[in-house]
Amino acid sequence: MAENEQQYEFSEFSGEFVDDGVMVIIGIYRPAGTNGDWTLEVVDQEGYSTVWDDLFATDREAFEEFLATIQRDGIRSFLDQSIHTVH
């Protein structure tokens, strides 16, 4: 492994999430060994990634934002899109 390769700590909220017959992978992570803010990323079944621009103070806040997005826009909002970011 290269010296400058970043290592990440993943939240317990990370993992598979299924709703309405659609499965996505939730990644909630931060640089390992830090108390930094958390990044929220959702990867769909085709491997397309949605990453939030904003960071979250806690992993729970990141997960709650994911759930709010599902409730507001539906899980299918993550499908069939190229890599994009959410503000």
User: Which region holds residue 39: left if phi is over 0, alpha if psi is between -120 and 50, else beta?
Assistant: beta
- The answer to whether 53 touches 60, Cβ cutoff 8 Å, is no
> Residue 43 and residue 25: Cα distance in Å, rounded?
5
Which of the pair, 41 or 79, is modelled with greater confidence? 41
What is the distance of C-alpha 23 from the center of its chain? Answer: 13
The pLDDT score that the predictor gives to residue 80 is: 63
The pLDDT score that the predictor gives to residue 8 is: 96
pLDDT tens-digit map of 3-14: 568 899 999 999
Between the CA of residue 78 and those of 3, 6, 52, 53, 73, what are the distances in Å? 34, 26, 12, 16, 9
The band of 78, judged by pLDDT with boundaries at 50, 70 and 90, is confident
